[in-house]
């Protein structure tokens, strides 16, 4: 791949500039970005699926609901520092390059996850256990503040315009793979280990796996070159690293930031509801068998992985807006019927309800990795997207398990998950209405990107 724009006539326009992509290098970039996302969500998946056990390990014995709330509270705390991570890593990525920052976030994510597996229990060191858990979660949250925006920017700036949706969809394929890895490992441990063994030492295994995963991901990311779009931006600045004030990333992009936050809200509320909260909902609220509940979620994620690349390719053909809009309408109309199906309790009913929500979620997972970077110009893309994405995730996405658990406890209404997803769909629909279609078009501030 050329590392900058090439001044040569293309099929697009006479004497126009275009970035000519190298398919092998694009595939390497997609793999490296997706692996980092997989590691991030492997941790989130494990944390969610083993939340009941973590509550027993890190918090005082007593009320199981209070333990679960405390566990999800530590989960949500990491999201409070994500905007700080975005404000640090995003502008840094626009100044020194996407590749370097993504390597740094990979190191921090792996270290934070690995550290959780080494923390002594509450029974061993008392209040120090939840404090250390919170500290590790804050490291994770800070590092992930620069991960998703950087990874989606990285793929978007490498991809040819006509295939950006398909290639970007593999980022969320990595998310699903990470969840399936986490869920599968927890399911196997739950089936093979006794409750006492799982509580005493078994829970550590998934977190310790992050060490080798992080080393592999770091190796892949260090082997990559900088994106052509960033290289061209540096060249325009006469080889000086472009420095953009934080104010310009916010006030100069406020319309795009609002759209970004609305899209991320519906994307992440539904994402965390299905993949993080529903396993605990099945076990805690519906008294569903824990192993069977995990297997249902695992099957739904496998179905989503199969559909994901095809849905990404569809966004290249018909556009991002129609696909995202279909997801919003679907969640508005089907959240209540799907949850009523899940509440029937039979394996078939639970599977159908979860599958319906999973297929609707694919409308977002397939389109967002290519739609969100296209909201911002190259000069501020990493920084502005990091800020908008992480503020929205912190306020609405990562808090979803905690808020819904608290709402059910306060109202006694176990249909709260459906109402919460419907409200998110309304906000997302409004954002789709105002967004501009980006499929098949160059990224703002970049020349056309074409395949060799």
Q: Which of 411, 425, 288, 301 is CA-nearest to residue 343?
A: 288
Rounded-to-integer distance, Cα 175 and Cα 34, Å: 7
Question: Mean of the pLDDT values across residues 145-171?
Answer: 90
Residue 109 in this model has a pLDDT that exceeds 90:
no
pLDDT-derived band at 94, boundaries 50, 70, 90? confident
452 part of a folded domain? no
The whole-number average pLDDT for the span 31-41 is 83
Q: What is the largest CA-CA distance in the chain?
A: 73
At 164, the pLDDT band (50, 70, 90 cuts) reads: very high
* Two tokens, residue 322: 């129609």
Whether residue 118 is contained in a domain is answered as yes
Residue 13: predicted pLDDT: 36
Single pTM value for the model: 0.84
Residue 175 domain-assigned (yes or no):
yes
Q: Is the dihedral of CA 339, 341, 347, 348 positive or negative?
A: negative
Domain residue limits at 402: 23-437
CATH assignment at residue 288: 1.20.1250.20
Q: Residues near 360 by Cβ (< 8 Å), separated by ≥ 6?
A: 270, 327, 330, 331, 334
Q: Are 355 and 303 in contact (CB under 8 A)?
A: yes
Q: Which residue has the tokens 């398990």?
A: 401
- Residue 63 inside a domain? The answer is yes
110 inside domain: yes
Confidence of residue 2 (pLDDT cuts 50, 70, 90): very low
- Does 10 have pLDDT greater than 80? no
Rounded Cα gap, residues 263 and 265, in angstroms = 5
As a whole-number percent, the residues of the chain with pLDDT over 90 amount to 28
Neighbours of 250 (CB within 10 A): 17
Choose the most confident range, by mean pLDDT, from 5-14, 196-205, 333-342: 333-342
Mean predicted lDDT score pLDDT of the chain: 83
Q: What is the pLDDT of residue 58?
A: 80
The confidence band for 321, taking pLDDT boundaries of 50, 70 and 90, is very high
**The tokens of 158 are what?**
């490498």
State how far the alpha carbon of 445 is from the alpha carbons of 30, 229, 261, 375, 381, in Å: 22, 8, 21, 11, 10
Q: Does 387 reside within a domain? A: yes
Does 7 fall in a domain? no
Mean pLDDT within 411-433: 93
223-282, pLDDT tens digit by residue?
878 888 887 777 776 555 556 666 666 677 889 999 999 999 999 999 888 877 887 788
Q: pLDDT band for 309, please (50, 70, 90 cuts).
A: very high
Whether 18 maps to a domain, the answer reads: no
Distance of CA 339 to the CA centre of its chain: 23
Q: Between 367 and 70, where is the model more confident?
A: 367
Query: Which 3 state secondary structure label does DSSP give 22?
Result: coil
Residues in a beta bridge with 449: 19
Q: What domain count does the chain have? A: 1
Task: Give yes or no for residue 419 having a pLDDT over 80.
Answer: yes
The string of pLDDT tens digits covering residues 71-80 is: 767 766 777 8
Length of the chain: 452
């Amino acid at each position: 791949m050329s590392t900058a724009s090439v001044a040569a006539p293309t099929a697009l326009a006479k004497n126009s500039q275009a970035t000519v992509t190298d398919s092998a290098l694009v595939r390497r970039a997609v793999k490296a970005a997706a692996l980092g996302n997989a590691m991030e969500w492997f941790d989130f998946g494990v944390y969610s699926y083993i939340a009941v056990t973590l509550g027993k390990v890190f918090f005082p014995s007593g009320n199981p609901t209070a333990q679960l709330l405390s566990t999800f509270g530590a989960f949500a705390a990491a999201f409070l520092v994500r905007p700080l991570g975005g404000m640090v890593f995003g502008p840094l990525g626009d100044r020194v390059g996407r590749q370097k920052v993504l390597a740094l976030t990979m190191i921090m994510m792996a270290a934070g996850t690995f550290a959780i597996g080494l923390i002594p229990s509450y029974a061993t060191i008392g209040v120090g256990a939840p404090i250390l858990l919170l500290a590790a979660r804050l490291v994770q949250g800070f590092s992930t503040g620069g991960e998703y925006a950087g990874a989606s920017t990285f793929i978007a700036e490498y991809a040819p315009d006509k295939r950006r949706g398909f290639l970007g969809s593999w980022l969320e394929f990595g998310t699903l793979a990470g969840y399936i890895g986490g869920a599968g490992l927890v399911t196997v441990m739950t089936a093979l280990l006794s409750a006492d063994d799982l509580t005493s030492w078994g829970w550590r295994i998934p977190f310790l796996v992050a060490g080798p995963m992080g080393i592999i991901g770091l190796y892949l990311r260090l082997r990559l070159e900088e994106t052509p779009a960033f290289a061209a931006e540096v060249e325009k600045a006469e080889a000086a690293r472009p420095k953009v004030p934080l104010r310009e990333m916010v006030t100069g992009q406020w319309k795009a930031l609002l759209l970004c936050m609305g899209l991320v809200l519906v994307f992440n509320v539904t994402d965390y509801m299905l993949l993080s909260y529903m396993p605990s909902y099945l076990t805690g609220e519906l008294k569903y068998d824990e192993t069977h509940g995990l297997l249902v979620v695992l099957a739904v994620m496998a179905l989503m992985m199969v559909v994901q690349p095809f849905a990404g390719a569809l966004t290249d053909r018909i556009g991002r807006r129609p696909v995202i809009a279909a997801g919003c309408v679907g969640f508005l109309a089907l959240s209540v019927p799907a949850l009523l199906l899940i509440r029937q309790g039979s394996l078939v009913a639970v599977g159908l309800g979860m599958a319906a929500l999973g297929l609707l979620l694919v409308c977002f997972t397939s389109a967002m990795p290519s739609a969100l970077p296209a909201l911002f110009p190259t000069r501020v893309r990493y920084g502005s997207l990091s800020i908008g994405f992480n503020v929205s995730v912190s306020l609405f996405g990562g808090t979803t398990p905690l808020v819904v658990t608290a709402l059910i406890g306060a109202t006694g209404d176990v249909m709260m998950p459906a109402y919460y997803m419907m409200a998110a769909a309304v906000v997302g629909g409004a954002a789709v209405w105002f967004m501009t279609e980006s499929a098949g078009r160059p990224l703002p501030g970049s020349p056309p990107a074409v395949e060799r």
